Chains A and B, each alone.
Chain A
Protein backbone atom coordinates (compact mmCIF):
# COMPACT_ATOMS: atom_id res chain seq x y z
CA UNK A 1 0.00 0.00 0.00
CA UNK A 2 1.31 3.45 -0.86
CA UNK A 3 2.01 5.77 2.01
CA UNK A 4 -0.61 8.52 2.23
CA UNK A 5 1.31 10.47 4.83
CA UNK A 6 2.18 13.30 2.53
CA UNK A 7 -1.12 13.58 0.73
CA UNK A 8 -2.84 16.93 1.23
CA UNK A 9 -6.17 16.66 3.03
CA UNK A 10 -9.51 16.90 1.23
CA UNK A 11 -11.66 20.00 1.59
CA UNK A 12 -15.35 20.38 0.81
CA UNK A 13 -16.19 23.53 -1.13
CA UNK A 14 -19.32 25.65 -0.66
CA UNK A 15 -20.14 28.56 -2.97
CA UNK A 16 -22.58 31.45 -2.62
CA UNK A 17 -23.69 31.90 -6.21
CA UNK A 18 -25.28 35.31 -5.74
CA UNK A 19 -25.53 37.97 -3.08
CA UNK A 20 -28.23 37.08 -0.56
CA UNK A 21 -28.33 33.35 -1.30
CA UNK A 22 -26.97 30.58 0.92
CA UNK A 23 -23.70 28.75 0.27
CA UNK A 24 -24.18 25.41 -1.50
CA UNK A 25 -21.92 22.43 -1.75
CA UNK A 26 -20.27 22.22 -5.16
CA UNK A 27 -17.53 19.61 -4.72
CA UNK A 28 -14.17 19.03 -3.10
CA UNK A 29 -10.42 19.38 -3.67
CA UNK A 30 -7.05 18.73 -2.06
CA UNK A 31 -5.02 21.49 -0.42
CA UNK A 32 -2.26 21.74 2.16
CA UNK A 33 -4.09 24.32 4.26
CA UNK A 34 -7.14 26.58 4.37
CA UNK A 35 -5.56 29.41 2.39
CA UNK A 36 -4.57 27.10 -0.43
CA UNK A 37 -7.99 25.47 -0.27
CA UNK A 38 -9.69 28.83 -0.81
CA UNK A 39 -7.32 29.73 -3.64
CA UNK A 40 -7.78 26.38 -5.34
CA UNK A 41 -11.53 26.55 -4.93
CA UNK A 42 -11.54 29.97 -6.52
CA UNK A 43 -9.43 28.67 -9.44
CA UNK A 44 -11.43 25.49 -9.97
CA UNK A 45 -15.01 26.32 -9.08
CA UNK A 46 -15.48 30.00 -9.97
CA UNK A 47 -13.83 30.27 -13.37
CA UNK A 48 -17.07 31.45 -14.93
CA UNK A 49 -18.20 33.76 -12.15
CA UNK A 50 -20.15 31.03 -10.40
CA UNK A 51 -19.79 32.69 -7.02
CA UNK A 52 -19.38 35.75 -4.83
CA UNK A 53 -18.20 33.94 -1.70
CA UNK A 54 -16.46 30.64 -0.89
CA UNK A 55 -16.41 28.45 2.23
CA UNK A 56 -14.05 25.50 2.63
CA UNK A 57 -14.34 22.86 5.34
CA UNK A 58 -11.89 20.01 5.79
CA UNK A 59 -13.81 16.86 4.88
CA UNK A 60 -12.97 15.08 8.11
CA UNK A 61 -15.11 17.63 9.94
CA UNK A 62 -18.25 16.63 8.03
CA UNK A 63 -20.43 14.04 9.73
CA UNK A 64 -23.11 12.40 7.63
CA UNK A 65 -26.13 10.16 8.09
CA UNK A 66 -25.70 6.54 7.09
CA UNK A 67 -27.51 5.77 3.80
CA UNK A 68 -28.64 2.40 5.18
CA UNK A 69 -30.59 4.25 7.85
CA UNK A 70 -32.35 6.58 5.41
CA UNK A 71 -35.62 4.68 5.71
CA UNK A 72 -36.03 4.96 9.44
CA UNK A 73 -34.80 8.55 9.42
CA UNK A 74 -36.84 10.07 6.64
CA UNK A 75 -39.82 7.86 5.90
CA UNK A 76 -41.80 8.80 9.03
CA UNK A 77 -42.38 12.27 7.55
CA UNK A 78 -44.12 10.73 4.54
CA UNK A 79 -47.47 10.07 6.22
CA UNK A 80 -47.64 13.37 8.15
CA UNK A 81 -49.85 15.10 5.65
CA UNK A 82 -51.18 17.45 8.30
CA UNK A 83 -47.87 19.33 8.16
CA UNK A 84 -48.88 20.65 4.75
CA UNK A 85 -51.29 23.49 3.92
CA UNK A 86 -53.30 21.35 1.50
CA UNK A 87 -54.48 19.11 4.37
CA UNK A 88 -56.85 21.83 5.60
CA UNK A 89 -60.21 22.28 3.87
CA UNK A 90 -60.82 25.93 3.13
CA UNK A 91 -63.29 27.36 0.62
CA UNK A 92 -61.85 28.43 -2.73
CA UNK A 93 -63.33 31.93 -2.54
CA UNK A 94 -61.35 32.77 0.58
CA UNK A 95 -58.46 35.15 -0.17
CA UNK A 96 -54.99 35.62 1.34
CA UNK A 97 -54.92 32.48 3.42
Chain B
Protein backbone atom coordinates (compact mmCIF):
# COMPACT_ATOMS: atom_id res chain seq x y z
CA UNK B 1 0.00 0.00 0.00
CA UNK B 2 1.36 3.43 -0.88
CA UNK B 3 1.68 6.28 1.61
CA UNK B 4 -1.15 8.14 -0.12
CA UNK B 5 -3.55 5.22 0.19
CA UNK B 6 -2.76 4.81 3.86
CA UNK B 7 -3.64 8.37 4.58
CA UNK B 8 -6.81 8.18 2.49
CA UNK B 9 -7.81 5.13 4.43
CA UNK B 10 -7.10 6.88 7.73
CA UNK B 11 -9.14 9.87 6.65
CA UNK B 12 -11.96 7.54 5.64
CA UNK B 13 -11.92 5.80 9.02
CA UNK B 14 -11.89 9.18 10.75
CA UNK B 15 -15.02 10.18 8.83
CA UNK B 16 -16.72 6.94 9.87
CA UNK B 17 -15.66 7.45 13.48
CA UNK B 18 -17.13 10.96 13.44
CA UNK B 19 -20.42 9.40 12.32
CA UNK B 20 -20.40 10.91 8.83
CA UNK B 21 -22.24 9.26 5.96
CA UNK B 22 -20.25 8.00 3.01
CA UNK B 23 -21.70 8.96 -0.38
CA UNK B 24 -21.17 7.18 -3.75
CA UNK B 25 -18.69 9.71 -5.15
CA UNK B 26 -16.60 9.88 -1.96
CA UNK B 27 -13.32 8.01 -1.78
CA UNK B 28 -13.77 4.64 -0.11
CA UNK B 29 -11.60 1.55 0.34
CA UNK B 30 -12.21 -1.04 -2.36
CA UNK B 31 -13.21 -3.54 0.33
CA UNK B 32 -15.89 -1.16 1.63
CA UNK B 33 -17.29 -0.79 -1.88
CA UNK B 34 -17.27 -4.54 -2.53
CA UNK B 35 -18.79 -5.38 0.84
CA UNK B 36 -21.63 -2.96 0.19
CA UNK B 37 -22.27 -4.22 -3.30
CA UNK B 38 -22.50 -7.73 -1.86
CA UNK B 39 -24.64 -6.83 1.13
CA UNK B 40 -27.06 -4.45 -0.60
CA UNK B 41 -27.56 -6.69 -3.63
CA UNK B 42 -28.17 -9.71 -1.41
CA UNK B 43 -30.66 -7.65 0.53
CA UNK B 44 -32.36 -6.70 -2.75
CA UNK B 45 -32.42 -10.33 -3.89
CA UNK B 46 -34.07 -11.28 -0.58
CA UNK B 47 -36.87 -8.79 -1.18
CA UNK B 48 -37.45 -10.15 -4.68
CA UNK B 49 -37.21 -13.87 -3.87
CA UNK B 50 -39.26 -13.17 -0.75
CA UNK B 51 -42.24 -12.48 -2.99
CA UNK B 52 -42.36 -16.12 -4.09
CA UNK B 53 -43.43 -17.95 -0.91
CA UNK B 54 -46.11 -15.33 -0.23
CA UNK B 55 -47.23 -14.87 -3.82
CA UNK B 56 -47.99 -18.58 -3.66
CA UNK B 57 -51.01 -17.78 -1.42
CA UNK B 58 -52.49 -14.67 -3.07
CA UNK B 59 -55.09 -16.68 -4.99
CA UNK B 60 -55.99 -18.76 -1.92
CA UNK B 61 -56.54 -16.23 0.86
CA UNK B 62 -59.55 -16.97 3.09
CA UNK B 63 -61.26 -13.65 2.34
CA UNK B 64 -60.93 -10.32 0.53
CA UNK B 65 -59.49 -8.45 3.50
CA UNK B 66 -56.62 -10.92 3.66
CA UNK B 67 -56.18 -10.79 -0.09
CA UNK B 68 -55.76 -7.02 -0.41
CA UNK B 69 -53.39 -7.02 2.57
CA UNK B 70 -51.20 -9.76 1.13
CA UNK B 71 -51.23 -8.23 -2.34
CA UNK B 72 -50.16 -4.86 -0.95
CA UNK B 73 -47.38 -6.51 1.03
CA UNK B 74 -46.00 -8.42 -1.95
CA UNK B 75 -46.16 -5.24 -4.05
CA UNK B 76 -44.13 -3.47 -1.35
CA UNK B 77 -41.45 -6.18 -1.46
CA UNK B 78 -41.00 -5.57 -5.18
CA UNK B 79 -40.60 -1.85 -4.49
CA UNK B 80 -38.11 -2.54 -1.71
CA UNK B 81 -36.05 -4.68 -4.08
CA UNK B 82 -36.01 -1.74 -6.49
CA UNK B 83 -34.81 0.79 -3.87
CA UNK B 84 -32.02 -1.55 -2.86
CA UNK B 85 -30.87 -2.44 -6.38
CA UNK B 86 -30.73 1.30 -7.10
CA UNK B 87 -28.63 1.94 -3.98
CA UNK B 88 -26.21 -0.82 -5.05
CA UNK B 89 -25.97 0.64 -8.57
CA UNK B 90 -24.53 3.88 -7.13
CA UNK B 91 -21.41 1.81 -6.36
CA UNK B 92 -20.80 0.88 -9.99
CA UNK B 93 -22.45 -2.51 -10.46
CA UNK B 94 -25.16 -2.83 -13.12
CA UNK B 95 -28.65 -4.22 -12.60
CA UNK B 96 -28.00 -6.91 -15.19
CA UNK B 97 -24.86 -8.04 -13.37
CA UNK B 98 -26.80 -8.37 -10.13
CA UNK B 99 -29.58 -10.35 -11.80
CA UNK B 100 -26.99 -12.55 -13.44
CA UNK B 101 -25.47 -13.28 -10.02
CA UNK B 102 -28.88 -14.13 -8.61
CA UNK B 103 -30.01 -16.27 -11.52
CA UNK B 104 -26.81 -18.30 -11.71
CA UNK B 105 -26.91 -18.97 -7.97
CA UNK B 106 -23.67 -17.04 -7.36
CA UNK B 107 -25.38 -14.45 -5.14
CA UNK B 108 -27.11 -15.40 -1.91
CA UNK B 109 -30.40 -14.21 -0.50
CA UNK B 110 -31.99 -14.71 2.90
CA UNK B 111 -32.21 -18.46 3.59
CA UNK B 112 -35.65 -18.14 5.15
CA UNK B 113 -37.19 -17.98 1.69
CA UNK B 114 -35.94 -21.46 0.90
CA UNK B 115 -38.58 -22.89 3.23
CA UNK B 116 -42.02 -23.76 1.81
CA UNK B 117 -45.32 -22.07 2.71
CA UNK B 118 -47.51 -25.13 3.32
CA UNK B 119 -50.56 -23.63 5.00
CA UNK B 120 -52.34 -20.28 5.31
CA UNK B 121 -50.91 -19.96 8.83
CA UNK B 122 -47.45 -19.77 7.24
CA UNK B 123 -48.40 -16.43 5.71
CA UNK B 124 -49.35 -15.08 9.14
CA UNK B 125 -46.16 -16.48 10.63
CA UNK B 126 -43.98 -14.97 7.91
CA UNK B 127 -45.48 -11.52 8.44
CA UNK B 128 -45.11 -11.82 12.20
CA UNK B 129 -41.68 -13.50 12.52
CA UNK B 130 -39.84 -13.03 9.23
CA UNK B 131 -40.87 -9.40 8.75
CA UNK B 132 -40.39 -8.88 12.49
CA UNK B 133 -36.80 -10.13 12.26
CA UNK B 134 -36.21 -8.10 9.09
CA UNK B 135 -37.51 -4.95 10.78
CA UNK B 136 -35.07 -5.33 13.69
CA UNK B 137 -32.19 -5.64 11.24
CA UNK B 138 -33.44 -2.83 9.03
CA UNK B 139 -34.09 -0.34 11.82
CA UNK B 140 -30.42 -0.76 12.73
CA UNK B 141 -29.45 -0.25 9.08
CA UNK B 142 -31.20 3.15 8.88
CA UNK B 143 -28.04 4.37 10.63
CA UNK B 144 -25.56 2.44 8.49
CA UNK B 145 -22.59 4.45 7.19
CA UNK B 146 -23.35 4.30 3.45
CA UNK B 147 -25.80 7.12 2.68
CA UNK B 148 -27.90 5.61 -0.15
CA UNK B 149 -28.33 2.35 1.80
CA UNK B 150 -29.35 4.16 4.97
CA UNK B 151 -31.87 6.33 3.13
CA UNK B 152 -33.37 3.32 1.34
CA UNK B 153 -33.76 1.70 4.76
CA UNK B 154 -35.64 4.69 6.17
CA UNK B 155 -38.15 4.44 3.36
CA UNK B 156 -38.44 0.68 3.64
CA UNK B 157 -38.93 0.71 7.42
CA UNK B 158 -41.68 3.29 7.09
CA UNK B 159 -43.53 1.17 4.53
CA UNK B 160 -42.86 -2.11 6.25
CA UNK B 161 -44.56 -1.32 9.52
CA UNK B 162 -47.84 -2.68 8.18
CA UNK B 163 -46.35 -6.00 7.06
CA UNK B 164 -45.82 -7.38 10.51
CA UNK B 165 -49.22 -6.19 11.74
CA UNK B 166 -50.84 -7.83 8.73
CA UNK B 167 -49.19 -11.12 9.71
CA UNK B 168 -49.98 -10.85 13.38
CA UNK B 169 -53.64 -10.12 12.65
CA UNK B 170 -53.78 -13.39 10.72
CA UNK B 171 -52.19 -15.16 13.71
CA UNK B 172 -54.74 -13.70 16.14
CA UNK B 173 -57.55 -14.92 13.91
CA UNK B 174 -56.18 -18.44 13.75
CA UNK B 175 -54.92 -18.88 17.30
CA UNK B 176 -58.16 -17.56 18.80
CA UNK B 177 -60.22 -19.59 16.31
CA UNK B 178 -61.21 -23.26 16.18
CA UNK B 179 -58.89 -25.94 17.65
CA UNK B 180 -57.92 -26.90 14.09
CA UNK B 181 -57.02 -23.30 13.24
CA UNK B 182 -54.97 -22.96 16.41
CA UNK B 183 -53.17 -26.19 15.61
CA UNK B 184 -52.38 -24.84 12.16
CA UNK B 185 -50.92 -21.67 13.72
CA UNK B 186 -48.82 -23.71 16.16
CA UNK B 187 -47.53 -25.91 13.36
CA UNK B 188 -46.44 -22.88 11.34
CA UNK B 189 -44.67 -21.42 14.37
CA UNK B 190 -42.93 -24.76 14.95
CA UNK B 191 -41.55 -24.78 11.43
CA UNK B 192 -40.60 -21.10 11.14
CA UNK B 193 -39.21 -20.36 14.62
CA UNK B 194 -35.69 -21.71 14.19
CA UNK B 195 -35.20 -20.52 10.59
CA UNK B 196 -36.31 -17.05 11.79
CA UNK B 197 -33.59 -17.04 14.45
CA UNK B 198 -31.08 -18.06 11.78
CA UNK B 199 -32.00 -14.94 9.75
CA UNK B 200 -29.64 -12.90 11.92
CA UNK B 201 -26.69 -14.92 10.62
CA UNK B 202 -23.98 -17.02 12.31
CA UNK B 203 -22.97 -16.52 15.92
CA UNK B 204 -20.60 -13.59 16.47
CA UNK B 205 -17.54 -15.77 17.10
CA UNK B 206 -18.18 -17.62 13.84
CA UNK B 207 -19.11 -14.62 11.73
CA UNK B 208 -16.09 -13.56 9.67
CA UNK B 209 -17.54 -10.15 8.71
CA UNK B 210 -18.71 -8.91 12.10
CA UNK B 211 -15.53 -7.11 13.18
CA UNK B 212 -15.16 -5.20 9.92
CA UNK B 213 -18.90 -4.46 9.74
CA UNK B 214 -18.80 -2.86 13.17
CA UNK B 215 -15.56 -0.95 12.47
CA UNK B 216 -17.06 0.56 9.32
CA UNK B 217 -20.45 1.05 11.00
CA UNK B 218 -22.14 -1.07 8.37
CA UNK B 219 -23.79 -2.83 11.30
CA UNK B 220 -24.18 -1.17 14.64
CA UNK B 221 -25.17 -4.31 16.49
CA UNK B 222 -23.84 -7.86 16.18
CA UNK B 223 -25.83 -10.86 14.96
CA UNK B 224 -26.16 -12.24 18.48
CA UNK B 225 -27.34 -8.91 19.90
CA UNK B 226 -30.01 -8.59 17.22
CA UNK B 227 -31.12 -12.21 17.69
CA UNK B 228 -31.49 -11.70 21.45
CA UNK B 229 -33.48 -8.51 20.87
CA UNK B 230 -35.81 -10.39 18.51
CA UNK B 231 -36.40 -13.24 20.97
CA UNK B 232 -37.03 -10.86 23.86
CA UNK B 233 -39.75 -8.94 22.06
CA UNK B 234 -41.30 -11.95 20.28
CA UNK B 235 -41.91 -14.31 23.21
CA UNK B 236 -44.57 -12.08 24.84
CA UNK B 237 -46.25 -11.84 21.42
CA UNK B 238 -46.33 -15.65 21.18
CA UNK B 239 -47.75 -15.82 24.71
CA UNK B 240 -50.53 -13.43 23.75
CA UNK B 241 -51.48 -15.83 20.95
CA UNK B 242 -51.38 -18.77 23.36
CA UNK B 243 -48.73 -20.43 21.20
CA UNK B 244 -45.46 -22.01 22.33
CA UNK B 245 -42.11 -21.64 20.59
CA UNK B 246 -40.54 -25.05 19.91
CA UNK B 247 -37.61 -24.61 22.30
CA UNK B 248 -37.63 -26.58 25.60
CA UNK B 249 -34.61 -24.60 26.82
CA UNK B 250 -36.27 -21.22 26.47
CA UNK B 251 -36.65 -19.42 29.77
CA UNK B 252 -36.49 -15.94 31.23
CA UNK B 253 -33.16 -15.17 32.86
CA UNK B 254 -33.81 -12.64 35.60
CA UNK B 255 -30.12 -11.91 36.08
CA UNK B 256 -29.41 -11.15 32.43
CA UNK B 257 -32.75 -9.50 31.84
CA UNK B 258 -33.09 -11.60 28.68
CA UNK B 259 -34.51 -14.94 27.57
CA UNK B 260 -32.07 -17.85 27.46
CA UNK B 261 -32.62 -20.09 24.47
CA UNK B 262 -31.55 -23.46 23.10
CA UNK B 263 -28.85 -24.31 20.58
CA UNK B 264 -29.49 -23.40 16.96
CA UNK B 265 -28.87 -26.13 14.37
CA UNK B 266 -26.14 -24.39 12.37
CA UNK B 267 -25.64 -27.42 10.16
CA UNK B 268 -29.12 -26.86 8.82
CA UNK B 269 -28.35 -23.17 8.30
CA UNK B 270 -25.20 -23.90 6.25
CA UNK B 271 -26.95 -26.63 4.26
CA UNK B 272 -29.65 -24.17 3.20
CA UNK B 273 -27.07 -21.45 2.45
CA UNK B 274 -25.20 -23.91 0.25
CA UNK B 275 -28.33 -24.57 -1.80
CA UNK B 276 -29.69 -27.70 -0.16
CA UNK B 277 -32.75 -26.23 1.53
CA UNK B 278 -36.24 -27.50 0.76
CA UNK B 279 -36.96 -24.86 -1.92
CA UNK B 280 -33.63 -23.47 -3.18
CA UNK B 281 -33.99 -25.04 -6.61
CA UNK B 282 -37.65 -24.11 -6.93
CA UNK B 283 -36.96 -20.46 -6.05
CA UNK B 284 -34.09 -20.11 -8.52
CA UNK B 285 -36.09 -21.84 -11.22
CA UNK B 286 -39.00 -19.44 -10.65
CA UNK B 287 -36.72 -16.40 -10.86
CA UNK B 288 -35.07 -17.67 -14.04
CA UNK B 289 -38.43 -18.44 -15.60
CA UNK B 290 -39.74 -14.94 -14.79
CA UNK B 291 -36.59 -13.39 -16.24
CA UNK B 292 -36.66 -15.44 -19.42
CA UNK B 293 -40.36 -15.02 -20.02
CA UNK B 294 -40.07 -11.27 -19.46
CA UNK B 295 -37.38 -10.89 -22.13
CA UNK B 296 -39.86 -9.92 -24.86
CA UNK B 297 -41.31 -7.16 -22.65
CA UNK B 298 -37.87 -5.65 -22.06
CA UNK B 299 -37.05 -5.88 -25.77
CA UNK B 300 -40.40 -4.42 -26.85
CA UNK B 301 -40.09 -1.45 -24.48
CA UNK B 302 -36.62 -0.66 -25.79
CA UNK B 303 -37.72 -1.00 -29.42
CA UNK B 304 -40.67 1.32 -28.74
CA UNK B 305 -38.43 3.93 -27.09
CA UNK B 306 -35.98 3.79 -29.98
CA UNK B 307 -38.76 4.19 -32.52
CA UNK B 308 -40.17 7.16 -30.65
CA UNK B 309 -36.73 8.77 -30.41
CA UNK B 310 -36.08 8.38 -34.13
CA UNK B 311 -39.48 9.93 -34.93
CA UNK B 312 -38.62 12.94 -32.76
CA UNK B 313 -35.30 13.35 -34.57
CA UNK B 314 -37.00 13.39 -37.97
CA UNK B 315 -39.59 15.87 -36.67
CA UNK B 316 -36.84 18.25 -35.51
CA UNK B 317 -34.99 17.89 -38.83
Contact = CB atoms under 8 A, between A and B. Distances in A.
A74 B137 CA distance: 32
Nearest to A22: B151
Contacts, number: 52
A71 interface: no
Interface in B207-249: 233, 236-237, 240
Interface residues of B, number: 24
Residues of A contacting B: mostly: loop
B172 interface: yes
Contact of B169 (A83, A84, A89, A95): A89
Contact of A20 (B147, B161, B164, B236): B147
Contacts of B23: 53
B169 A19 contact: no
A39 to B, nearest CB: 18
A19 B21 contact: yes
Interface string A70-91: 0000000000101111011111
A96 B236 CA distance: 10
B165 interface: yes
A97 interface: yes
Shortest 9 CB-CB contacts between residues of A and residues of B: A20-B21, A88-B165, A96-B233, A85-B162, A85-B161, A88-B169, A82-B68, A83-B72, A82-B69
B132 A82 contact: no
A94 B233 CA distance: 10
Q: Which of A85, A88, A91 has the most CB of B within 10 A?
A: A88
Interface in A39-95: 53, 80, 82-85, 87-91, 93-95
Nearest to B15: A19
A42 to B, nearest CB: 17
A83 B162 contact: yes
